[in-house]
Amino acid sequence: MDVVLPWKSVWITGAGKGIGAALAKLFSKKGVTVYISSRTPADLAQVKDSCRDYPGIVVPIPLDITQPEQIADLVQAWEAGEGIPRLVILNAGTHTPCAVSEFSAEHCKHLLDVNLQGTLNCLAPVLQRYIRSNDGQVAVMGSVAGYRGLPAAAAYGASKAALINLCESLYLDLSALRVKIQLINPGFVRTPLTDKNAFEMPFLLEPEEAAERILIGLCSDKFEITFPRRFSYLLKFLRLLPYRWYFRILTRKNMVKNVQGEEGSKMGTKEFKS
């Protein structure tokens, strides 16, 4: 994508690995100042080092999005300096597949604390300042898993479904302002976490390709940035089906068995992000 980007700086959460790291490298290649945050300083240092030959400045920020006071300190520091970046990509998230035999409130709370509440912790102060200045763009990382319930993904799917609904509502609320909100719903993207998956992932993309598609979407007027299209549109179609048809399709395709494995609980402690 050979165009001049409209942003001088961007903040990307969950930028230590996977899609977030690929986005950081892509923006740095384009000469944008990239603030990258993650809970793991070593990952951030590695991303910064990989961008050393690019024109854009990369600024690592160790940050836990489940800690609102850390986010408040960061935003205040920006306000005391050059101001908050005019593009924010809330990418951080996690997933721990869980067999139904191991289903627990604690497991669900962990995923919701990171994927939903953690995103809200970042989104609220960003939107407050964008609304005051009537300017800014924010993109939230959802997932096609938020379209309908999938096996071994009850908490993850619920968190992403909530983010989808949240962004839809905020889009309507912000429609009269010059504040742009977008929703990113990717399919499977190869990351160190998805490499652990024991099932076949259809239409699997490399993180660099996902980053390119996201950047194209960010430069457009689209509300939803979703890819690959064949996969996401198939899931959109399944979303329209009555429950009895939807459940029948998934069980006949042996999706439950493929995702959970022969013994169901074997994947209970594995993590992946899509």
Output Rg (C-alpha) for the chain, integer angstroms. Answer: 19
**Alpha-carbon dihedral angle through residues 183, 84, 92, 214, given to the nearest 10 degrees:** 40
Place of tokens 């740095």: 28
**Cα torsion angle, 223, 172, 246, 256, sign:** positive
pLDDT of residue 65: 98
Q: Output the CA–CA distances (angstroms, integers) from residue 19 to 56, 113, 177, 264, 272, in the order listed.
A: 18, 20, 29, 28, 12
Q: Report residue 45 as tokens.
A: 């240092």
**Alpha-carbon dihedral angle through residues 188, 192, 194, 198, given to the nearest 10 degrees:** 150
The CATH class that applies to domain 9-267 reads alpha beta
CA–CA gap between residue 116 and residue 142 (Å, rounded): 10
∠ Cα 207 209 214 (to 5°): 90
Could you tell me the residue ranges of all domains in the chain? 9-267
Stretches in the chain below the pLDDT threshold 50:
258-274
pLDDT per residue over 126-152, tens digit each? Answer: 999 999 999 999 999 999 999 999 888
CA–CA gap between residue 72 and residue 59 (Å, rounded): 18
∠ Cα 212 217 222 (to 5°): 165
Q: Are 187 and 203 in contact (CB under 8 A)?
A: yes
pLDDT per residue over 190-233, tens digit each? Answer: 765 555 555 677 778 999 999 999 999 999 999 999 999 999 99
∠ Cα 190 229 237 (to 5°): 115
Closest by CA position to 201, among listed 140, 273, 251: 273
Kindly report the pTM of this predicted structure: 0.90
